């Protein structure tokens, strides 16, 4: 079990190696350009939002009665918890928007990585018609995934708010970043395993059931992706690397079960 958990992150590292392949590199340019634009916008929004919220909290603490001023000494704890949440939400939002906009390019990238990994030297040429088919399928698939992610993310968000703000229950507020990390990591896994699955006409529900059977390894991969997405500059390249690594992981761990006739 521990080996499975640790082997998950290895696929992200493998993804970075795959990006160096000359046959893969042309499919990385567009996603990185998209990520640069997102990085500028979301990073500025995250910094401004964090400063505004902390200023509001500080003002509220300063306005407390004298006998409650001891609460101010705990402000640094709230700051740490909130900072962790902001980083995780930033990483999750960055990935969600990046994948939604860049899904056509990620579908094409996953297709080329699979060809490289399977050693298809005479692969079908990437014609305009073939590229359009892959791109359109990837866009449709994003909305299917949103149907899974969005309602559950809202539920997790409500739970986090309760843990942070409801008196008494907020003694457990330290759990908020943990829950956010686990949910975000699970999302990352499904997101990046789905591109090769979709290219091979494997349904999202089938992929979901397969990932649940290898949950520890899946979280090992997705957790590292989420953490890397929270690192400025590095997150410009994590998406393409995660697509490549997710494709390698899908071929190694999922393809034989999803496509037994071709195994």
In this predicted model, what pLDDT tens digit does every residue of 233-263 receive, in sequence order?
898 899 999 999 999 999 998 887 766 554 4
Give me the domain span that covers residue 203.
2-262
Q: Considering its fold, how many domains does the chain have in total?
A: 1
- Distance between CA 233 and CA 246 in Å, rounded? 21
Tokens, residue 115 = 């060809």
* C-alpha separations of 106 from 24, 26, 60, 80, 138 in Å: 11, 12, 45, 34, 8
Number of residues that make up the chain? 263
- Long-range CB contacts for residues 73-80, cutoff 8 Å, separation at least 24: 78/173, 79/54
Q: Which DSSP category does 120 fall into?
A: -
Q: From CA 255, how far away is CA 263, in angstroms rounded? A: 7
The 10s digit of each residue's pLDDT in 187-223 is: 999 999 999 999 999 999 999 999 999 999 999 999 9
Quote the CA–CA distance of 34 and 165 in Å, as a whole number: 36
Least confident of 81-85, 95-99, 158-162, 192-196: 81-85
């Amino acid at each position: 079990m521990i080996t499975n958990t640790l082997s998950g992150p290895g696929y992200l590292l493998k993804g970075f190696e795959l990006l160096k392949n000359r046959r893969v590199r042309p499919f990385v340019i567009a996603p990185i350009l998209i990520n640069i634009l997102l990085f500028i916008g979301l990073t500025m929004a995250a910094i401004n939002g964090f400063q505004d919220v902390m200023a509001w909290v500080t003002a509220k603490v300063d306005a407390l009665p004298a006998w409650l001023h001891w609460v101010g000494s705990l402000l640094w704890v709230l700051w740490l918890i909130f900072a962790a949440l902001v980083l995780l939400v930033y990483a999750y939002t960055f990935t969600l928007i990046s994948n939604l906009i860049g899904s056509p390019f990620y579908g094409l990238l996953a297709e080329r990585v699979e060809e490289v990994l399977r050693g298809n030297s005479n692969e079908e040429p990437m014609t305009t018609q073939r590229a359009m088919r892959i791109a359109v399928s990837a866009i449709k698939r994003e909305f299917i995934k949103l149907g899974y992610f969005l309602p559950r993310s809202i539920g997790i968000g409500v739970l986090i708010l309760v843990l942070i703000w409801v008196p008494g229950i907020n003694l457990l507020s330290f759990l908020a970043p943990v829950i956010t990390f686990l949910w975000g990591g699970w999302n990352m896994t499904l997101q990046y395993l789905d591109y090769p699955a979709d290219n091979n006409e494997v349904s999202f529900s089938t992929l979901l059931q397969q990932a649940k059977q290898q949950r520890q390894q899946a979280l090992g991969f997705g957790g590292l992706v989420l953490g890397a997405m929270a690192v400025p500059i590095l997150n410009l390249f994590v998406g393409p690397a995660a697509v490549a690594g997710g494709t390698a992981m899908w071929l190694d761990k999922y393809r034989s079960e999803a496509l037994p006739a071709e195994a």
